[in-house]
Amino acid sequence: MQTLCLTCIEIFEVEKPLKICPQCRSRLLKSHAELNTLSIVHMDCDSFYASVEKRDNPELRNKPVIIGGNSNRAVVSTACYIARTFGVKSAMPMFKAKKLCPHAVILSGNMQKYSAVSREIVKKMNNLTPMVEQVSVDEAFLDLSGTEKLHKKLPCQLVAQLSKDIEQDIGITISIGLSYNKFLAKVASDLEKPKGFSILGQNNIKQTLAPFPVTKIWGVGKVLAAKLHQNGIETFADLQKLNEEDLLRNYGKMGSRLKYFAVGDDLRSVKPAARESGRKSIGRETTFFQDISDHEVLKVKIWDICEQVHQDALRLQKSGYTVTLKLKTNSFKTITRSQTLPSPTLLANVMFDIVGQALAKLNPKTAYRLVGVSLSNLSDVEKADPLDFLEPKKMTSQKVENAMDEIRQKFGTKSVIKGRSVKNKRPDNSLPQKPKPENF
């Protein structure tokens, strides 16, 4: 059995797990029979937005911090771990978060700063391997296969040292999942947050996964989880007992994913983001289990998609001038509505406002089976959102004022407020959540 010291980054071959490092006397040790063979890593920044704010303002270190907005219409984007002890969670309505933690420090957020920190972290990852797949602003997969010869260390040592370097040089802690495929690495990284280092090997993996709730599986949100619950499926063990044919019949293509993930299988490889100069658009869409006509329900779905498109654009370092809403009716008729902005955007709330206006003009009685949102007429991310939506204090130039007027004239007086240009008047939904893996 191998034991890794997370302090001195030495690895030891032992018969039984060590309790104290024989070299540095640290108790921060990780033992696993497959430690020297695993090379797929998921790295997840701990409470990323809140951690950046605490790093930059030491007075916040021991305080509950929530990133979101002060209006009751806002939602929680990120809650630090202190705030989470009071029951505050991401995507929770802000009014509820305030009731649970009335003494919390609520900050509006600064996406440009978070993106800059994210780029620093990814740069360090790329120094280890070109096989880095950034899936959101605060998480990435690494494939460290074949790096031992170059760096003279095992993958487990490399990623442990990387985590230390990121904390020391950038001031952000990371939770690490180490396994033999992406799905299990992702599951592992969530087991010991914050600042965790968890390992899932191949041996007895079905038994290890068996008690986990099905919500650990990518793509299993509230709707699918409720449907699984109705069918008596709560855990991985429940899925493991079912055959793939039944799952396909009941849940479509997702049925195959449920089956494979439930037994720890995942054939996907780590794919570095391609800087596709020929890419025409960035978008996401989702098909409903049941047709939806209620516009309020549709807007909840659309908001989630806008967040995913935001994350994709951020990952690709792109923005878009044109925002498009796509709908497919229950009679399979496709409806699209597009608006072109004077300046490119990648903000979720800007997309949401535009497609929301388009949706409001459609027949409220029509039922839809699919909804999608996309950005096109792409541009570089540096040109995006000149109003500096997330940093309103910097909005001083005449150019910015002219741009604000132009957007107000084109989309109405409320569009700039919803676009986060007025402090504390925005729901702060532009700060992204985790994207789902399916592409538009």
Which amino acid, one-letter code, is at 294? D
β-partners of residue 394 are: none
User: What do you get for the CA distance between the two ends of the chain, in Å?
Assistant: 44
Half-sphere exposure of 137 (CA within 13 A, CB side): 26
Chain length of the chain: 440
Q: Contact, 282 vs 313, CB < 8 A?
A: yes
Distance CA 56, CA 128 (A): 27
> Which residues are the active-site residues?
139
Q: Contact, 374 vs 280, CB < 8 A?
A: no
Residue 379's contacts (CB-CB under 8 Å, 6 or more residues apart) are 318, 319, 320, 321, 344
Nearest to 319 by CA among 52, 50, 67, 111: 111
Q: Which two tokens stand for residue 385?
A: 């959102």
| Element spanning 328, H or E | strand 318-329
Per DSSP, the residues of 130-168 read S-EEEEETTEEEEE-TT-HHHHSS-HHHHHHHHHHHHHH
Instruction: Return phi, psi of residue 75, to 5°.
Output: -125, 160
Residue with tokens 């939602």: 75
